[in-house]
Amino acid sequence: SKNEISCIGCGALIQTEHPEEIGYAPPSSLEKEEIICQRCFRLKHYNEVQDVSLTDEDFLNILNKLSLTDSLIVKVIDIFDFNGSWLPGLHRFVGKNPILLIGNKVDLLPKSAKRNKLIQWMKSASKELGLKPLDVLLVSASKGIHIREALEQIEYYRKGKDVYIVGCTNVGKSTFINRIIKEVAGGQDVITTSHFPGTTLDMIEIPLDDGKALIDTPGIINHHQMAHFVHKNDLKIITPKKEIKPKVFQLNEEQTLFFGGLARFDYLKGGRRSFTCYLSNELMIHRTKLENADSLYQNHVGEMLQPPRKNELDQFPELVRHEFMIKDGKTDVVFSGLGWVTVNEPGAKVAAYVPKGVNVTVRRSLI
Protein backbone atom coordinates (compact mmCIF):
# COMPACT_ATOMS: atom_id res chain seq x y z
CA SER A 1 0.00 0.00 0.00
CA LYS A 2 0.93 3.66 -0.31
CA ASN A 3 1.87 3.84 3.32
CA GLU A 4 4.74 1.44 2.95
CA ILE A 5 6.74 3.14 0.26
CA SER A 6 10.17 4.25 1.42
CA CYS A 7 12.21 7.13 0.13
CA ILE A 8 15.07 5.87 -2.03
CA GLY A 9 17.29 8.56 -0.52
CA CYS A 10 16.88 8.31 3.22
CA GLY A 11 14.65 5.31 3.72
CA ALA A 12 11.95 7.25 5.54
CA LEU A 13 8.36 6.08 5.02
CA ILE A 14 6.75 8.29 2.42
CA GLN A 15 3.74 10.32 3.50
CA THR A 16 1.86 13.00 1.59
CA GLU A 17 0.06 14.88 4.31
CA HIS A 18 2.53 16.73 6.49
CA PRO A 19 5.05 18.77 4.49
CA GLU A 20 6.99 19.66 7.61
CA GLU A 21 7.49 16.08 8.77
CA ILE A 22 9.83 13.32 7.78
CA GLY A 23 9.16 11.45 4.55
CA TYR A 24 6.90 14.04 2.93
CA ALA A 25 6.47 13.85 -0.82
CA PRO A 26 3.86 15.71 -2.83
CA PRO A 27 0.99 13.40 -3.87
CA SER A 28 1.87 13.84 -7.55
CA SER A 29 5.26 12.25 -6.98
CA LEU A 30 3.69 8.93 -5.98
CA GLU A 31 3.18 8.10 -9.62
CA LYS A 32 6.90 7.88 -10.22
CA GLU A 33 8.71 4.58 -10.09
CA GLU A 34 11.34 5.62 -7.62
CA ILE A 35 10.02 7.86 -4.92
CA ILE A 36 12.18 10.36 -3.16
CA CYS A 37 11.01 12.53 -0.30
CA GLN A 38 10.99 16.30 -0.72
CA ARG A 39 13.84 16.74 1.69
CA CYS A 40 16.14 14.36 -0.23
CA PHE A 41 14.98 15.91 -3.50
CA ARG A 42 16.10 19.34 -2.36
CA LEU A 43 19.35 17.96 -1.08
CA LYS A 44 20.07 16.09 -4.25
CA HIS A 45 19.18 18.78 -6.70
CA TYR A 46 19.87 21.99 -4.82
CA ASN A 47 22.37 20.89 -2.16
CA GLU A 48 19.99 22.47 0.26
CA VAL A 49 19.09 21.29 3.70
CA GLN A 50 15.50 21.55 4.88
CA ASP A 51 14.73 21.19 8.53
CA VAL A 52 12.54 18.37 9.70
CA SER A 53 10.89 18.36 13.05
CA LEU A 54 10.60 15.50 15.43
CA THR A 55 8.54 14.26 18.27
CA ASP A 56 10.13 14.71 21.65
CA GLU A 57 10.77 10.99 21.90
CA ASP A 58 12.61 10.74 18.59
CA PHE A 59 14.61 13.75 19.58
CA LEU A 60 15.69 12.30 22.92
CA ASN A 61 16.58 9.16 21.06
CA ILE A 62 18.95 11.11 18.83
CA LEU A 63 20.48 13.03 21.71
CA ASN A 64 21.12 9.79 23.55
CA LYS A 65 23.01 8.45 20.56
CA LEU A 66 25.21 11.52 20.59
CA SER A 67 26.66 10.41 23.91
CA LEU A 68 27.98 7.28 22.19
CA THR A 69 29.97 9.32 19.68
CA ASP A 70 33.36 10.92 20.12
CA SER A 71 32.64 14.28 18.60
CA LEU A 72 32.27 18.01 18.91
CA ILE A 73 28.69 19.17 19.48
CA VAL A 74 27.74 22.52 18.01
CA LYS A 75 24.59 23.85 19.60
CA VAL A 76 22.81 26.60 17.70
CA ILE A 77 20.40 28.91 19.51
CA ASP A 78 18.38 31.93 18.38
CA ILE A 79 19.72 34.98 20.21
CA PHE A 80 16.31 36.64 19.81
CA ASP A 81 14.76 33.75 21.76
CA PHE A 82 17.63 32.54 23.93
CA ASN A 83 15.67 30.61 26.54
CA GLY A 84 13.02 29.41 24.13
CA SER A 85 15.59 27.87 21.84
CA TRP A 86 17.89 26.56 24.54
CA LEU A 87 17.31 22.75 24.46
CA PRO A 88 17.38 22.12 28.19
CA GLY A 89 19.37 19.15 29.41
CA LEU A 90 21.57 18.82 26.35
CA HIS A 91 24.69 18.46 28.51
CA ARG A 92 23.21 15.37 30.14
CA PHE A 93 22.74 13.71 26.79
CA VAL A 94 25.94 14.44 25.00
CA GLY A 95 28.15 12.62 27.48
CA LYS A 96 31.72 13.80 27.60
CA ASN A 97 31.57 15.52 24.26
CA PRO A 98 32.49 19.20 24.31
CA ILE A 99 29.93 21.76 23.20
CA LEU A 100 30.45 24.90 21.15
CA LEU A 101 27.58 27.36 21.50
CA ILE A 102 26.53 29.45 18.53
CA GLY A 103 24.06 32.29 18.90
CA ASN A 104 22.41 32.95 15.54
CA LYS A 105 20.46 35.96 14.21
CA VAL A 106 22.80 38.56 15.72
CA ASP A 107 21.69 40.86 12.87
CA LEU A 108 18.40 41.38 14.72
CA LEU A 109 19.98 43.02 17.74
CA PRO A 110 20.59 46.76 17.69
CA LYS A 111 24.00 47.58 16.21
CA SER A 112 24.76 49.51 19.37
CA ALA A 113 24.79 46.27 21.39
CA LYS A 114 28.40 45.39 22.14
CA ARG A 115 29.48 42.07 20.75
CA ASN A 116 31.79 41.21 23.66
CA LYS A 117 29.12 42.04 26.17
CA LEU A 118 26.61 39.84 24.38
CA ILE A 119 29.09 36.97 24.38
CA GLN A 120 29.79 37.44 28.09
CA TRP A 121 26.06 37.46 28.71
CA MET A 122 25.64 34.20 26.78
CA LYS A 123 28.48 32.62 28.75
CA SER A 124 27.01 33.47 32.12
CA ALA A 125 23.47 32.57 31.05
CA SER A 126 24.79 29.19 29.84
CA LYS A 127 26.49 28.61 33.15
CA GLU A 128 23.28 29.34 35.03
CA LEU A 129 21.54 26.81 32.82
CA GLY A 130 24.16 24.19 33.65
CA LEU A 131 26.22 24.28 30.48
CA LYS A 132 29.87 25.12 30.15
CA PRO A 133 30.56 25.52 26.44
CA LEU A 134 34.10 25.50 25.09
CA ASP A 135 33.37 28.83 23.55
CA VAL A 136 30.50 31.09 22.50
CA LEU A 137 30.09 32.63 19.07
CA LEU A 138 27.63 35.07 17.59
CA VAL A 139 26.72 34.82 13.93
CA SER A 140 24.09 35.68 11.41
CA ALA A 141 23.52 32.75 9.11
CA SER A 142 21.22 34.64 6.79
CA LYS A 143 23.44 37.73 6.50
CA GLY A 144 26.67 35.74 6.49
CA ILE A 145 28.11 37.52 9.52
CA HIS A 146 31.02 35.74 11.27
CA ILE A 147 30.34 32.48 9.44
CA ARG A 148 33.94 32.03 8.39
CA GLU A 149 35.08 32.59 11.98
CA ALA A 150 32.56 30.02 13.16
CA LEU A 151 33.96 27.52 10.69
CA GLU A 152 37.49 28.23 11.87
CA GLN A 153 36.45 27.72 15.47
CA ILE A 154 34.70 24.48 14.64
CA GLU A 155 37.81 23.28 12.83
CA TYR A 156 39.97 24.27 15.79
CA TYR A 157 37.81 22.69 18.47
CA ARG A 158 36.86 19.49 16.71
CA LYS A 159 40.44 18.17 16.91
CA GLY A 160 39.99 15.76 14.04
CA LYS A 161 36.59 14.50 15.19
CA ASP A 162 33.11 14.48 13.71
CA VAL A 163 30.88 17.48 14.37
CA TYR A 164 27.19 17.23 15.23
CA ILE A 165 25.03 20.30 14.83
CA VAL A 166 22.01 20.44 17.11
CA GLY A 167 19.32 23.02 17.71
CA CYS A 168 15.57 23.35 17.94
CA THR A 169 13.53 24.26 14.88
CA ASN A 170 13.57 27.82 13.68
CA VAL A 171 16.93 28.78 15.18
CA GLY A 172 18.31 28.99 11.64
CA LYS A 173 20.21 25.74 11.69
CA SER A 174 19.45 24.92 8.06
CA THR A 175 20.43 28.40 6.96
CA PHE A 176 23.67 28.04 8.90
CA ILE A 177 24.46 24.65 7.39
CA ASN A 178 23.62 25.81 3.90
CA ARG A 179 26.10 28.64 4.39
CA ILE A 180 28.72 26.19 5.55
CA ILE A 181 28.14 23.96 2.56
CA LYS A 182 28.84 26.91 0.30
CA GLU A 183 32.02 27.78 2.19
CA VAL A 184 33.31 24.23 2.47
CA ALA A 185 32.34 22.81 -0.86
CA GLY A 186 31.90 25.81 -3.08
CA GLY A 187 28.66 24.43 -4.41
CA GLN A 188 29.86 20.90 -5.12
CA ASP A 189 27.64 17.92 -4.59
CA VAL A 190 28.88 17.00 -1.15
CA ILE A 191 26.03 15.83 0.95
CA THR A 192 25.38 12.29 1.94
CA THR A 193 22.79 11.02 4.36
CA SER A 194 23.42 8.56 7.13
CA HIS A 195 21.48 6.75 9.78
CA PHE A 196 22.06 6.40 13.44
CA PRO A 197 21.71 2.72 14.16
CA GLY A 198 18.45 2.08 15.94
CA THR A 199 16.66 5.14 14.66
CA THR A 200 14.82 5.61 11.43
CA LEU A 201 16.03 9.16 11.24
CA ASP A 202 18.35 10.34 8.61
CA MET A 203 21.09 12.83 9.16
CA ILE A 204 22.73 15.05 6.64
CA GLU A 205 26.46 14.57 6.44
CA ILE A 206 28.86 17.05 4.98
CA PRO A 207 32.18 15.28 4.46
CA LEU A 208 35.24 17.08 5.84
CA ASP A 209 38.79 16.86 4.46
CA ASP A 210 40.03 14.26 6.92
CA GLY A 211 37.36 11.63 6.40
CA LYS A 212 35.26 13.02 9.24
CA ALA A 213 31.97 14.77 8.74
CA LEU A 214 29.77 17.60 9.86
CA ILE A 215 26.38 16.12 10.65
CA ASP A 216 23.06 17.93 10.81
CA THR A 217 20.59 16.50 13.31
CA PRO A 218 16.84 17.10 13.05
CA GLY A 219 15.46 19.96 15.12
CA ILE A 220 12.92 19.70 17.87
CA ILE A 221 9.90 21.93 18.04
CA ASN A 222 9.78 24.31 20.95
CA HIS A 223 6.13 24.17 21.91
CA HIS A 224 6.23 27.20 24.20
CA GLN A 225 6.91 29.75 21.49
CA MET A 226 4.46 32.34 20.35
CA ALA A 227 4.94 31.07 16.80
CA HIS A 228 2.73 28.05 17.48
CA PHE A 229 -0.24 30.15 18.46
CA VAL A 230 -0.40 32.56 15.58
CA HIS A 231 -1.47 32.24 11.99
CA LYS A 232 1.21 31.93 9.29
CA ASN A 233 0.52 35.46 8.04
CA ASP A 234 0.87 36.86 11.54
CA LEU A 235 4.16 35.06 11.95
CA LYS A 236 5.54 37.46 9.36
CA ILE A 237 4.59 40.35 11.59
CA ILE A 238 5.98 39.02 14.85
CA THR A 239 9.20 37.57 13.44
CA PRO A 240 11.71 40.38 13.10
CA LYS A 241 13.54 40.35 9.81
CA LYS A 242 15.93 43.20 10.40
CA GLU A 243 17.62 45.13 13.18
CA ILE A 244 15.16 45.74 15.98
CA LYS A 245 14.53 49.37 16.79
CA PRO A 246 14.01 49.43 20.56
CA LYS A 247 11.01 51.49 21.65
CA VAL A 248 11.25 53.33 24.95
CA PHE A 249 8.15 54.07 27.02
CA GLN A 250 7.97 56.33 30.05
CA LEU A 251 5.21 54.76 32.11
CA ASN A 252 3.34 55.79 35.21
CA GLU A 253 2.14 53.19 37.67
CA GLU A 254 -0.94 51.35 36.47
CA GLN A 255 -0.31 51.72 32.77
CA THR A 256 -0.52 48.90 30.26
CA LEU A 257 1.14 48.11 26.93
CA PHE A 258 -0.50 45.76 24.42
CA PHE A 259 1.65 44.04 21.80
CA GLY A 260 -0.93 43.68 19.08
CA GLY A 261 -3.45 41.38 20.72
CA LEU A 262 -0.83 38.74 21.41
CA ALA A 263 0.59 39.85 24.71
CA ARG A 264 0.25 42.50 27.37
CA PHE A 265 2.56 44.18 29.87
CA ASP A 266 1.19 45.89 32.99
CA TYR A 267 3.32 48.28 34.97
CA LEU A 268 1.89 48.04 38.46
CA LYS A 269 4.11 49.74 41.02
CA GLY A 270 7.44 51.59 41.37
CA GLY A 271 6.97 55.24 40.37
CA ARG A 272 7.34 56.81 36.93
CA ARG A 273 10.10 55.05 34.98
CA SER A 274 11.23 53.88 31.56
CA PHE A 275 10.80 50.54 29.84
CA THR A 276 12.39 49.46 26.55
CA CYS A 277 10.54 47.13 24.19
CA TYR A 278 12.50 44.82 21.88
CA LEU A 279 9.94 43.43 19.46
CA SER A 280 9.50 43.11 15.73
CA ASN A 281 9.34 46.63 14.29
CA GLU A 282 6.06 45.70 12.61
CA LEU A 283 4.26 44.72 15.79
CA MET A 284 2.04 47.55 16.98
CA ILE A 285 2.33 48.65 20.61
CA HIS A 286 -0.73 50.21 22.19
CA ARG A 287 -0.58 52.06 25.51
CA THR A 288 -3.55 52.42 27.86
CA LYS A 289 -4.51 52.79 31.50
CA LEU A 290 -4.53 49.58 33.50
CA GLU A 291 -8.11 50.19 34.58
CA ASN A 292 -9.24 50.24 30.93
CA ALA A 293 -7.04 47.40 29.74
CA ASP A 294 -9.41 44.45 30.22
CA SER A 295 -12.32 46.06 28.43
CA LEU A 296 -10.10 47.45 25.69
CA TYR A 297 -8.85 43.95 25.01
CA GLN A 298 -12.31 42.44 25.06
CA ASN A 299 -13.69 45.01 22.67
CA HIS A 300 -10.78 45.45 20.30
CA VAL A 301 -8.78 42.24 20.06
CA GLY A 302 -8.72 41.16 16.43
CA GLU A 303 -9.21 44.72 15.21
CA MET A 304 -7.22 47.55 16.75
CA LEU A 305 -5.26 44.97 18.73
CA GLN A 306 -3.96 42.53 16.14
CA PRO A 307 -2.58 40.00 15.38
CA PRO A 308 -4.52 37.75 15.94
CA ARG A 309 -7.10 38.73 13.35
CA LYS A 310 -10.80 38.55 13.95
CA ASN A 311 -11.30 35.27 12.07
CA GLU A 312 -8.49 33.63 14.05
CA LEU A 313 -9.82 34.50 17.49
CA ASP A 314 -11.69 31.24 18.08
CA GLN A 315 -8.38 29.37 17.82
CA PHE A 316 -6.34 31.82 19.83
CA PRO A 317 -5.74 30.84 23.47
CA GLU A 318 -6.76 33.09 26.34
CA LEU A 319 -4.09 35.37 27.82
CA VAL A 320 -2.62 34.20 31.12
CA ARG A 321 -1.20 36.62 33.68
CA HIS A 322 2.25 36.22 35.27
CA GLU A 323 3.31 38.69 37.95
CA PHE A 324 6.92 39.62 38.70
CA MET A 325 8.69 41.79 41.27
CA ILE A 326 11.86 43.09 39.63
CA LYS A 327 14.39 43.31 42.46
CA ASP A 328 17.74 43.36 40.65
CA GLY A 329 19.24 45.78 38.17
CA LYS A 330 18.32 46.00 34.48
CA THR A 331 16.06 43.02 33.81
CA ASP A 332 14.31 41.61 30.74
CA VAL A 333 10.79 40.22 30.88
CA VAL A 334 10.84 37.78 27.97
CA PHE A 335 7.79 36.75 25.94
CA SER A 336 9.07 33.55 24.31
CA GLY A 337 9.45 34.03 20.58
CA LEU A 338 7.95 37.52 20.62
CA GLY A 339 10.72 39.56 22.23
CA TRP A 340 11.19 41.26 25.59
CA VAL A 341 10.67 44.35 27.70
CA THR A 342 13.67 45.69 29.59
CA VAL A 343 12.93 47.07 33.02
CA ASN A 344 15.74 49.61 33.27
CA GLU A 345 15.91 49.90 37.08
CA PRO A 346 15.05 47.58 39.96
CA GLY A 347 12.05 48.00 42.25
CA ALA A 348 9.19 47.53 39.79
CA LYS A 349 6.16 45.33 40.06
CA VAL A 350 4.94 44.20 36.65
CA ALA A 351 2.64 41.62 35.07
CA ALA A 352 3.13 39.89 31.73
CA TYR A 353 0.25 38.30 29.83
CA VAL A 354 0.79 35.68 27.13
CA PRO A 355 -1.40 33.13 25.39
CA LYS A 356 -1.84 30.02 27.51
CA GLY A 357 1.08 27.70 26.73
CA VAL A 358 3.61 30.41 25.91
CA ASN A 359 6.52 30.91 28.31
CA VAL A 360 7.37 34.10 30.13
CA THR A 361 10.77 34.37 31.81
CA VAL A 362 12.76 37.02 33.60
CA ARG A 363 16.50 37.39 33.06
CA ARG A 364 19.42 39.75 33.55
CA SER A 365 19.23 42.22 30.70
CA LEU A 366 20.79 41.02 27.44
CA ILE A 367 21.53 44.50 26.12
Binding interface with ligand GDP (CB under 6 A): 51, 104-105, 107-108, 140-143, 167, 169-175, 219, 241
Q: Can you tell me the distance from the alpha carbon of 277 to that of 344, in angstroms, rounded to the nearest whole number? A: 11
Nearest approach, Cβ of residue 286 and ligand GDP (Å): 25
Which of 133, 130, 108 has the alpha carbon at shortest distance from 119? 133
- In the complex with ligand GDP, the residue whose CB is nearer, 239 or 256, is 239
**Shortest gap between Cβ of 62 and ligand GDP (angstroms)?**
15
Q: How far is the CB of 232 from ligand GDP (least distance, A)?
A: 12
Q: Which of 216, 166, 172 is nearest to 194 (CA)?
A: 216
Min. distance of Cβ 228 from ligand GDP in angstroms? 13
> Which residue of this chain has its Cβ atom nearest to ligand GDP in the complex?
172
Closer by beta carbon to ligand GDP, 217 or else 359 = 217
For residue 134, the minimal CB distance to ligand GDP (Å) is 21
Nearer to ligand GDP, 12 or 296 (CB): 12
CB of 173 to ligand GDP, least distance (A): 3
Which residues pair with residue 166 across a beta bridge?
Answer: 75
Between 38 and 140, CB nearer to ligand GDP: 140
By C-beta, is 75 or 105 nearer to ligand GDP? 105
Under DSSP, the state recorded for 227 is: G
Long-range contacts of 251-254 (CB under 8 A, 24+ apart): 251/275, 251/287, 254/289, 254/290, 254/291
Q: Which is nearer to ligand GDP, 126 or 239 (CB)?
A: 239
CA distances from 73 to 90, 114, 192 (A): 10, 26, 19
- Whole-number CA gyration radius for the chain: 22
Long-range contacts of 179-187 (CB under 8 A, 24+ apart): 179/141, 179/144, 179/147, 180/147, 180/151, 180/206, 180/214, 181/47, 181/49, 181/206, 183/147, 183/148, 183/151, 184/151, 184/208, 184/214, 185/47, 187/47
